[in-house]
Structure 1
Amino acid sequence: MSTVSPFGTRLRAAMDARGPLCVGIDPHAALLARWGLGDDVAGLERFSRTVVDALADQVAVFKPQAAFFERFGSRGIAVLERTVADARAAGTLVLMDAKRGDIGSTMAAYAETFLRPDAPLFSDALTVSPYLGYGSLRPAVELARESGAGLFVLALTSNPEGGEVQRAVREDGRSVGATMLAHLAEENAGAAPMGSFGAVVGATLGDLSSFDLEINGPLLAPGIGAQGATAADLPKVFGAAVGNVVPNVSRGVLGHGPDASALRAAAAAFADEIRAAVAG
């Protein structure tokens, strides 16, 4: 059993101290070019180091998108390892956005890659896909509990295609997305100040009052900024659960690079807007 505090406890403390902002680390080709960097490993490393150096003392969570590193093969993975290590050493929580999902020993291996404390890519939390059945995530749930890490389960995502699966209605009359939220509420039962098992719920989805978002866990909310949602939308979308929302902003902050002061100013502006909206 880990001696580290559970992820939910550490996340709550980081949100209270720094605000709830999560900044993506998404070095896709267009953004590298916008920064004047090559679409290569050197550009990847310069980009990632700049984001971490500029924002590690300012934001609660970094969310590296694994795919943008994996596309460069082993050298890209090496950059991802350093990025995770540097961010965690600086005191920022790292949520690995890898959206892994499989069954049995394969799911266990994915979990060990990101949630085993001595793994090179160990992260404070991991995004996972439950669409082989929520029970398929059990190896990741168990290892996260053991290591003090967390999970964010895809529940109601911001992409338009997501609804054909997530809003499909089961035989019991409950939608698939609502079922995932119910499972997470069970995982988080009794946890204080907040459970470690969160949901991904898009900030662009409008009125979600028909869903029970009070899962006693964090709600990762993509869609702020470039996708069209604003901080002011959060109370309308999340209702009474808004205090546990972790808004994710990627392009809205990263587009201000590579100047470190501009990155910091953009992140601070989003954080202030989110605090005001949540408090209001």
Structure 2
Amino acid sequence: MTGTTSLTTPEPFGARLRHAMDTRGQLCVGIDPHTSLLAEWGLSDDVAGLERFTMTVVEALGGTVAVLKPQSAFFERFGSRGIAVLERAVAAARQAGALVVTDAKRGDIGSTMAAYAATYLDKDSPLFSDAVTVSPFLGFGSLRPALDAARISGAGVFVLALTSNPEGAEVQRATVPGGASVAQVMLDHITAENAGAAPLGSVGAVVGATLREAGVDLAVNGPLLAPGIGAQGATAADLPDLFGSALGNVLPSVSRDVLRHGPDAAALRKAVRAYARQVREAVAGAGNVDGNTVR
């Protein structure tokens, strides 16, 4: 008997993220081309300025950080030309070795959710990303098209659980019959999705670093994306108390406090090294030492 069938199973996002965090460090840098940041960089608030800003960040940091997180809204505001910049940025960042989490916070039902999944989680899509942020507040089951698409393509999803904005508490801290918070219900669903995954599940949770206390079980066997470092007021030193034993799976995210150092690439990299060092020291101080650094 001769002949073999080549069926390539993509490496899961969780495994790829674990390797990236272990070798490049636990840091995500957002790409948020705010109008004010474009002005600080001396750039025009148009597609040309957007592209210059975005590609400068990708070229400076794509070979250094574990994750780059473009915020889709800042590209969408320029219409199709802005989306074209996002497409180029996603491809260039992945080519440079960074994982890309597209921050789109999509959430819907049925065929519409399936279309969102095809946009970000289908390898044939020009916006294919390593992961995408999603909103579960039409019910966790509404995310099934995205969860299934991510599994097939080896991508991941980050599910909003406890966000960094104060307004989120009115929904996320609300309780269901039995007394659990909505956030805990979502985290329980995530834990179930990640059951048996090693070294890390591919379904993550978004938990704001600005929270003073979690009040939920964060042991979801998946990554915890923690926005709010820097301009929103959280620091790396806040992470151990908030995340406890889950600290090793936390991906702190900083945006404006790094991006304001542009357009000089060396200054951007210096800012990233400073934040990476702070995160590394916070993790090491809590006893979660892996000995790896961001170079």
Q: Same fold (TM over 0.5)?
A: yes
Q: Is 2:276 the counterpart of 1:268?
A: no
Q: Deviations over 1:36-94 (max 9, x none)?
A: 00000000000011001101111000000000001001100110000000001111100
Distance 2:259 2:13 in 1: 26
Distance 1:185 1:44 in 2: 38
Task: Determine helix, strand or coil for the equivalent of 1:117.
Answer: coil
**Equivalent in 159, 170, 173 of residue 165 of structure 2:** 159
The residue number in structure 1 matching 2:90 is 84
The residue number in structure 2 matching 1:215 is 220
Distance 1:62 1:188 in 2: 23
**Equivalent in 239, 243, 251 of residue 248 of structure 2:** 243
Q: Which amino acid aligns with 1:96?
A: T
State percent identity of aligned pairs: 72
Q: Which amino acid aligns with 1:171?
A: P
Across the aligned residues of Structure 1 and Structure 2, the Cα RMSD in angstroms comes to 0.8
Q: Is 2:283 the counterpart of 1:256?
A: no
Q: Is 2:135 the counterpart of 1:133?
A: no
Distance 2:29 2:18 in 1: 16
Distance 1:255 1:28 in 2: 10
**Poorly superposed stretches of 4+, deviation over 6 Å:** none
The residue number in structure 2 matching 1:228 is 233
Distance 1:89 1:57 in 2: 9
CA drift at 1:173: 1.1
The residue number in structure 2 matching 1:8 is 14
- Gap change, CA 1:204 and 1:2, over 3 Å in 2: farther
Task: Determine helix, strand or coil for the equivalent of 1:195.
Answer: coil
The residue number in structure 2 matching 1:68 is 74
CA drift at 1:206: 1.3
Distance 1:15 1:117 in 2: 23
The residue number in structure 2 matching 1:111 is 117
Q: Deviations over 1:161-187 (max 9, x none)?
A: 000000000012111000000000000
Q: Deviations over 1:134-171 (max 9, x none)?
A: 00000000000011000000000000000000000001
Q: Which amino acid aligns with 1:11?
A: L
Q: Deviations over 1:177-211 (max 9, x none)?
A: 00000000000011000000000001111122x31
Task: Determine helix, strand or coil for the equivalent of 1:158.
Answer: coil
Is the contact between residue 2 and residue 147 of structure 1 (CA under 8 Å) also seen in structure 2?
no
Give unpaired runs (5+ residues) of structure 2: 1-6, 286-295
CA drift at 1:4: 2.1
Q: Which amino acid aligns with 1:201?
A: V
Report the TM-score when normalising by structure 1: 0.98
Distance 1:63 1:223 in 2: 13
Distance 2:123 2:97 in 1: 16
Is the contact between residue 188 and residue 197 of structure 1 (CA under 8 Å) also seen in structure 2?
yes
**Equivalent in 45, 56, 72 of residue 51 of structure 2:** 45
The residue number in structure 1 matching 2:175 is 169
Q: Which amino acid aligns with 1:198?
A: G
CA drift at 1:3: 2.5
Task: Tell me the matched-pair count.
Answer: 279
